[in-house]
Structure 1
């Protein structure tokens, strides 16, 4: 089954859009996270520089904080803002916020530059840290200074941005998809109208295609209309020739009837059958022009046949079932009656007790199924059923043309006639005809 063009365009436009939004959003979130981390590191660097500026070395070699940083967070226990001073022998000074704990001293760079990293102390919240190795005047050995801030400040800011960005991206994506949907609806409207015109043309409710306000489709219409007109003329010419041929046969048939002896019943029946076929083709040739607007009610055509054939076969039952809201059939009533009359008469002749008829509307078709409980046919006979003049039961009268003519009529309306095994045990005939649609 072919996919819808609109659905294809939806996928072609929607998938890249969603992928672009997701990838772009992830890149934006990464860039924001990196920016927030850099800003926090810069804050740590400024605080570290101010802290180092307040360190002093005493004459006895000790390091003291001569000028405090002035941030209350370094005095608040558990704030995440800590400082710590160590030398080669261990930690010498730490902020009051650490209380009785010490942080693991990371390795500092040998060139004296600041080094930033994440710390995860045991049993404490994660920290963002900066460490630097310095030499104080009057101090014989260098010292290492560590300063930390709460990593939660970074994570909370990033989380807020991620949540807000996903909501904004979802809103923008929905707006973009709605815009794409509107564009597709407006852009494909001429194509839908073109499809409707083709369907009306096939159903016989239109003689030609109308021009459309789209350059590409308008060019297609201009190319198709001459082809449609040529086909119409060829079909009209064929109908006229068929009618002329049928008319030409009428006179020789009338002459042949005068030459047949009155008592020769076989030849007279054969000539009558030929005359009937010629009359049918004459009627069909004259009716072809009306078929494009043909319509009839299948149930009404069937009801009249059931009443008539029930009298001819009083010992057999005809069960009719019909689905509700059956639309009209795009077929002349006389043609439908001829098809159903042939099929129903054959079914009643073959049935033992019952013929079941089922009328259903499926999709764009009216489907009529006839089942009989007769002996049925084998596979070889089913394969040949419908061949012109072929008869399987020589004990019953007939010419063997009914099924073939019924199939020709059904196919002339764009329908079909098929046969198979019936669940009742006999033969099943399946007639499909297009449902009539109002223009």
Structure 2
């Protein structure tokens, strides 16, 4: 979860939704209970007012308690509905109390006032009670009338539980809707991150040169920093290429002068010294030529693309004009449609030129070039029918200065340069003996399909 921003947001959102709905359920239950209690208190007050009517006056005008009106709620023992009326020392209770008396040991409320009480019931249950106090008569002869009407709180608790039972399915459905909304919010809110990822991928595939600024405001600092990093990288690569090129060009003239001095020494009868100088100069020229080639490799290679078939056609046309090339049977096969590779055209020309020239020098009669597309890669195979190379030398052949034929005038850097170009373009170079001949495969990333 620590590595997934989406999962972290979903977990936090789900937790917030659950806590909020749970708090809402408790709050609604409390409000419902208070509302039901107010309704119950109102009903008890109305019943208390009705019980006040049982006070009568006898012929002498003395107040007394008459028989209460019949009510089946108060006839059944322990029904949960009770009343008790006290006029002076005269006390009457509902039949439902049986032999139990509601406690009246506290002070009576002021006349005309109503108090809401929490009293113990005949079976130890909690009762919601209303007590009213009235004065019957006038003057010092007035008597205090206390009326208590109560009902079992279990009824209120059951009502709250029933309310919660009815509420829970709706809260669960609401939680589901909120969860879906949270998921959509996270998906839409994080979509710019996917857009940035797609643009970075497009950068590597050569479809874009920069991230761009047409993104949400929150993503602009990131995109600008990435673009600034790309600008700095390109500038540094350009400076490095220029420095390498300048350094290599600076060595060429002194090396040429050393070769002239070696020739002078050879003419004066110093062949050993001249040969030693020529060996050193040749080795240094290899390094210089390689660095010149590396300096020409394009830094913005991901944004470039080339047509291998067209490059091969141009190179073969040139090589056919050479003495050896005119005797070779050049065979070219290209997939239809012709695939395009993600590489700078000049780099591809230099790489294929080195491979074709190498194949021409070692071929007996045939050089075959095949261009095929395999998924997201372009495979360029150049094969000859020559003697091939020892299997033990295949891995080391692309190394700097490696030559199997010491009789030629080459410097042994052709395959090394091709390997550098392939590596710079994100490709691979493989050598295989085909018996007869050697097959060199250059595999490059395919360019994006044009629409």
TM-score (norm 2): 0.54
SS of the residue corresponding to residue 78 of structure 1 reads: coil
Structure 2 counterparts to residues 136-215 of structure 1, below 5 A: 136-137=136-137, 141-201=143-203, 206-209=208-211, 212=214, 214=216
| Alignment-derived partner of residue 324 in structure 1 | none
Q: 1:187 to 1:280 in 2, by over 3 A?
A: same
Distance 2:130 2:4 in 1: 60
SS of the residue corresponding to residue 66 of structure 1 reads: coil
Unaligned ranges ≥5, structure 1: 295-326, 329-336, 343-407, 415-435
| Alignment-derived partner of residue 96 in structure 1 | 95
Distance 1:234 1:140 in 2: 109
C-alpha contact 2:56 2:64 (8 A) present in aligned 1: yes
Q: How far apart are 1:154 and its partner, in Å?
A: 1.1
Distance 2:203 2:99 in 1: 93
Distance 1:269 1:121 in 2: 118
Distance 1:71 1:267 in 2: 132
1:72 aligns with 2:68: no
Q: How far apart are 1:49 and its partner, in Å?
A: 0.8
Distance 1:24 1:208 in 2: 49
Structure 2 counterparts to residues 326-365 of structure 1, below 5 A: none
Distance 1:122 1:412 in 2: 94
Structure 2 counterparts to residues 42-53 of structure 1, below 5 A: 42-53=42-53
| Alignment-derived partner of residue 333 in structure 1 | none
Q: How far apart are 1:193 and its partner, in Å?
A: 0.9
If you compute each CA radius of gyration, which structure gives the higher value, 1 or 2?
2
C-alpha contact 2:86 2:92 (8 A) present in aligned 1: yes
Q: How far apart are 1:129 and its partner, in Å?
A: 0.8
SS of the residue corresponding to residue 280 of structure 1 reads: helix
C-alpha contact 1:105 1:146 (8 A) present in aligned 2: no
Q: How far apart are 1:172 and its partner, in Å?
A: 2.3
Cα deviation code 1:167-222 (max 9, x no counterpart): 43343243223223213322332342123313542676632336647577689869
Distance 1:235 1:223 in 2: 18
Unaligned ranges ≥5, structure 2: 263-269, 303-341, 344-375, 378-394, 401-419, 427-444
TM-score (norm 1): 0.55
**Cα RMSD, aligned residues only:** 4.7
Structure 2 counterparts to residues 170-319 of structure 1, below 5 A: 170-201=172-203, 206-209=208-211, 212=214, 214=216, 228=230, 232=234, 235-236=237-238, 238-257=240-259, 259=261, 263=272, 270-289=280-299, 292=302, 293=342
Cα deviation code 1:117-150 (max 9, x no counterpart): 1223363332111112233359753232211112
C-alpha contact 2:97 2:122 (8 A) present in aligned 1: no
Distance 1:438 1:7 in 2: 35
C-alpha contact 2:111 2:134 (8 A) present in aligned 1: no
Distance 1:19 1:413 in 2: 54
Q: 1:438 to 1:54 in 2, by over 3 A?
A: farther
Q: 1:80 to 1:171 in 2, by over 3 A?
A: same
SS of the residue corresponding to residue 178 of structure 1 reads: helix
SS of the residue corresponding to residue 127 of structure 1 reads: strand
